[in-house]
Each structure stands twice: as structure tokens, then as C-alpha cells.
């Protein structure tokens, strides 16, 4: 598959989030294990597309190898949550008006606006082809070319980094703790694409 790139800033946020979740010694050990020691030096904070998408599944695989699948995926979820907070400033206008407008809207609408805004940002700077669908009061995040699991094979859905990011976005948009994000299809485990079902609880 042809190598694709995401903005350096996204790669930087991902590495910062992983270092926070694992602690510096764990982070360094994980990079060593994955043959990714060069990533200990973060990419610069700019929007140039210089961070290879293919490094993300390698990081996820290294995480699961080092901590075991269960704990590794838990840490990936946590890192996804942190990525949202690092990136929320890039929500721009939405972040500014959310406090004013969101209380007036029903939670499902707030969640949809939050997810659609994030999808728009990701579609502008990545090749994931994300769309947000609404079906029977549930929201679905569908990503045609998932950068989290590309090239991996897994017996169960493995895009917990993405699930954590979406959980935190919807939690932020709705203020609800009862949000759940379930990966209902995963390209790495035989799905046609990756899809997350978001339920507000
Ligand atoms: Zn995926």
C-alpha cells in the first residue's frame, strides 16, 4: 500500500498522549520494542504532512505486545482521550461557541455536531474518508481507510485509540459520563471498514 502521511502535529499529539498514558520509561520501552526509538524525538508542531500513517498501527501493535492485548488496548483508549484534549484547540470556532450554543441543543444534536466537526477536520488532513451517520437515535462513525489499524490483523476490533478519541469528543460535546463507543466493524478483523457506534446512554 502506498505510504500516506498525516500532519506532524497529529503525530506529535499521539506520541505525547502515549507518553502520558505509559509514563516516560514505559513509553521509551514500548518504542524500543517496536523498533521505533527514533520517535522519542517528537515531530515538530506544524501542519505539514510529515508523519507516516503506517507508524500508528505499529505503535498500537507494540503497545499490545508489551502490555498484553487487554491492558494495551485500555492504554490506547486513554491515549485517544488525551489526543482529543490536545487537539480541541484546533476545533476553532466550534470550541469558542460551544459553551454558548450547546446548552440550547439536545444532546444527540450536540454529539452529532461535535463528531461532524471532527470528521471534517480529519477529512481535510488525512485520507481516512470519515462519515458520520445517524440511525435509530444512534450515531455511527464510519472510516473507510482507518489509519489506526491499517495492515494489522486481529481476531477482534482493535481501534481503541479511535474509540477513546470519539468517547472524549462526545463526552465534551454532551457533558455525559454515560457515553459508550463500540467498534462494530474493524478492517483488521475482517470488516469492510472500521465503524464505531456511539450511544449516549
Ligand atoms: Zn480501524
Per-residue pLDDT of 163-182, as tens digits, reads 999 999 999 889 899 999 99
pTM as predicted:
0.94
Q: 107-199 adopts what CATH topology?
A: Muramoyl-pentapeptide Carboxypeptidase; domain 2 (3.30.1380)
CA distance 135 to 201: 15
Grid coordinates of 195? 465503524
Q: What DSSP letter does each residue of 47-62 carry, written as one string?
A: -SEEEETTHHHHHHHH
The CA 15 to ligand 1 mean position distance, Å, reads: 18
pLDDT in tens, 17-49: 999 999 999 999 999 999 999 999 999 999 899
pLDDT in tens, 106-137: 999 999 988 998 999 889 888 889 999 999 88
CA distance 179 to 197: 10
Q: With the C-alpha atoms ordered 139, 143, 148, 152, is the resulting torsion angle positive or negative? A: positive
The CA 103 to ligand 1 mean position distance, Å, reads: 32
Where do we find the cell 454529539? Answer: 111
- What is the pLDDT at residue 27? 98
Give ion ligand 1 contacts, CB < 5 A.
146, 148-149, 159, 194
Grid coordinates of 11? 503525530
Percent of the chain exceeding pLDDT 70 equals: 94
The CA 143 to ligand 1 mean position distance, Å, reads: 8
Amino acid at each position: 500500500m502506498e505510504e500516506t502521511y498525516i500532519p506532524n502535529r497529529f503525530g506529535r499529539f499521539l506520541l505525547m498522549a502515549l507518553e502520558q498514558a505509559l509514563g516516560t520509561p514505559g513509553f521509551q520501552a514500548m518504542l524500543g520494542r517496536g523498533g521505533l526509538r527514533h520517535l522519542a524525538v517528537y515531530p515538530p508542531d506544524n501542519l505539514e504532512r510529515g508523519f507516516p500513517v503506517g507508524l500508528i498501527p505499529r505503535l498500537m501493535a507494540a503497545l499490545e505486545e508489551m502490555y498484553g492485548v487487554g491492558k494495551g488496548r485500555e492504554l490506547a483508549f486513554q491515549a485517544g482521550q488525551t489526543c482529543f484534549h490536545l487537539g480541541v484547540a484546533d476545533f476553532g470556532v466550534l470550541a469558542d461557541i460551544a459553551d454558548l450554543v450547546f446548552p440550547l441543543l439536545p444532546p444527540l444534536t450536540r454529539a452529532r455536531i461535535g463528531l461532524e466537526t471532527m470528521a471534517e477536520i480529519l477529512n481535510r488532513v488525512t485520507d481516512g474518508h470519515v462519515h458520520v451517520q445517524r440511525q435509530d437515535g444512534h450515531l455511527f462513525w464510519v472510516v473507510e481507510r482507518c489509519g489506526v489499524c491499517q495492515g494489522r490483523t486481529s481476531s477482534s476490533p482493535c481501534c481503541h485509540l479511535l474509540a477513546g478519541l470519539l468517547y472524549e469528543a462526545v463526552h465534551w460535546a454532551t457533558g455525559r459520563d454515560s457515553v459508550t463507543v463500540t467498534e462494530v466493524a474493524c478492517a483488521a478483523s475482517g470488516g469492510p471498514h472500521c465503524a464505531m457506534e456511539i450511544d449516549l446512554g
